[in-house]
Every structure is written in C-alpha cells, then in structure tokens.
Amino acid sequence: MDPALLREREAFMKRAAATPSIEKKKKEPEKETVQNDQKKKSKPSSVSSGPKLDMYSYKTSSGSSQVRFSILTKIVQHMKARYQEGEDHPLTLEEILDETNQLDVGVRAKQWLQGESLTQNPKIEVTPDGKYSFKSKYKLKDKKSLLRLLKQHDLRGMGGILLEDIQESLPHSEKHLKNLQNELLYITRSQDKKKIVFYNDKTAHFPVDEEFQKLWRAVTVEAMDDAKIEEHLEKQGIRSMQDHGLKKVAAIKRKKPNSSKRKQFKKPRDNEHLADVLETYDENK
C-alpha cells in the first residue's frame, strides 16, 4: 500500500479523534410504543381526578330534597292545625311522624329534620327535653288574652294586629272573634287587602262636626313625613306641636358638704349653776 495514503489516513484519524462529535441515537421502536401507551393512559387519569357530573345522581339529589321539604311542610302544617285545635303539648319526632303517617322516612331524612330543618324553622319551637311544638306569633289562649293584647297595643299606640296572625295564634279563633265582635274593629288595608283588628275603645267615641270631617278627609299626608308636615304648617302660619310636649327636667345636682365646714353637734348642758338648789325626792320619805 502506498505510504503517502497511510500517512493521510493516520492524520485524518487523529483529527477525527481530536474534534468531539454528538451522535443522535435512534429510538427503538419498542420504547416509543411503550411511552406512547403510557401517555395515553395518563391523560384520562387526570380527567378522572376531577368531579364527575352524573345526570342521574343530579336528578335523584334534587328529587330527594323535594321529598324532604314535602315531609317538613306536612309536619309544620300538622303542628299548626293541632295547635289551633287546642293541643299545644309538645311531641317527639316519632310521634309527629306517626300522626302525619310518615313512618317510612329514612334515617338521613330524620337526621336532617332533627339537626337542621326543625331546629331552624321559625314556626317550630324545641323544648329542653328535645320535643317539638308549634311557635305562634302571639301567646294567646282565650278571648281574654286576645282582648288584653289589643288593649295594650291601643294604649301604647302600636295600632292593630293582622287578622291572620290572630287566627294563627289563638285556638278556636273564629268562636272567640265572634264573641268579641262588639269589642273589636276591622279595617281592610289598601295595599294588600288584609284585615287588621283594633280594640274598640268606646271612651274615644265623641261627635265630630261634619265640616271638620270633610277637611280631615281632604288632606292627604301619605307621602309626607313629619318634617314636611311641620314645614307645611309653618308656611300656613300654624305653629307645630313640638314645643307642647313633655319637657325633660334636668336633675338638680346637690353639692356635697365639705367635711371641714360641718357643724359640730353640741350636747345639751346640765344646769350646773342650780346644783345646790335641786333636791331629790325619795318615795320612802
């Protein structure tokens, strides 16, 4: 072999060894398929970690809540009806379910009734021993308690009481309202057509001149507050009634006496200058 070619080959090999080179390794087809399979498996796992939306579970959950609220509605209506019939003694949950024919209620629904719905319901009152009773707006037992409540409202200037609140709070309300028809006044409210019951104070009945009644009915003060009414009266030359009310009298502060200036109490003195004149009279003498 030509020695010049050998020298060139050796020089080429030295240069190749001196310069670093990076070779790209070809991936094996088996490794690529394994990695692709792993990626495909990892993708659905990340999606499955989130909450799933199941239409069937949604329908059943909404249906169960409707069933629970229907159970609660029956209980409240039954407790109200028995209270209006005069039965105000408290009942346990089992007794309530028995009287409402709902003994097939599940355990979760009972826990919901005891722990949340009945305890937080504004129309149900829980006794210290764990029983339940109807909670009316007013504590009324008979017509005397109703008349007393209406008198208190009238004396305190609180107005009347809604008829529906009386019917809810007073057992056998229709009978008692009929017996008290001469003692009560009924006025229908204009905005919602609800009836309001007032105490008929017969001492306030007095004749009023018709002209004054016409003037009174002609004045509309529905959209006016006290400040506007006072301003209107001042424009008409009428003095308002603010100065004619009861005035608060300031408490009189009494000065505390100084200890140095206190008067010394003088004891009564004996009649020493009459000591030789005074005589003692003994009973034995």
Same domain? 91 vs 130: yes
pLDDT, tens digit only, all 285 positions of the chain: 567 777 777 777 777 777 665 555 554 555 555 555 555 555 444 444 444 434 333 334 455 788 888 899 999 999 999 998 888 889 999 999 999 998 888 888 888 888 888 888 999 989 888 899 998 999 888 889 999 999 998 888 888 899 999 999 999 988 999 988 888 889 998 888 899 999 988 877 778 888 888 888 887 776 777 788 888 888 888 775 555 445 555 666 666 666 555 566 666 666 666 666 666 666 554
Residue 90 lies in a domain: yes
CATH of the domain at 128: 1.10.10.10
240 within domain boundaries = no
Which tens digit of pLDDT belongs to each residue from 129-185?
A: 889 999 899 988 888 999 999 999 888 888 889 999 999 999 998 899 998 888 888
Domain contains 263: no
Q: Are 117 and 134 in contact (CB under 8 A)?
A: no
- 87 lies in a domain? yes
What is the CB-side half-sphere exposure of residue 106 using CA atoms within 13 A?
Answer: 7
14, part of any domain: no
- State which residues form the domain around 144: 137-229
Domain boundary among 119, 134, 149: 134
pLDDT value, residue 87: 87
Of 162, 80, 156, nearest in space to 121 by CA: 80
Count of CA atoms in the C-beta half-sphere (13 A) of 81: 9
Q: Are 142 and 113 within one domain?
A: no
**Residue at 65 is within a domain:** yes
Would residue 199 count as lying in a domain? yes
Task: Count the domains in the chain.
Answer: 2
Q: Are 220 and 142 in the same domain?
A: yes
CATH for 216: 1.10.10
At residue 34, the 3 state secondary structure works out as helix
Whether residue 16 lies inside any domain: the answer is no
Q: Distance between CA atoms of 197 and 165, rounded to whole angstroms? A: 10
Q: How many CB atoms lie within 10 A of CB 145?
A: 15
Domain boundary pick from 229, 249, 272: 229
- Among the candidates 134, 158, 188, a domain finishes at 134
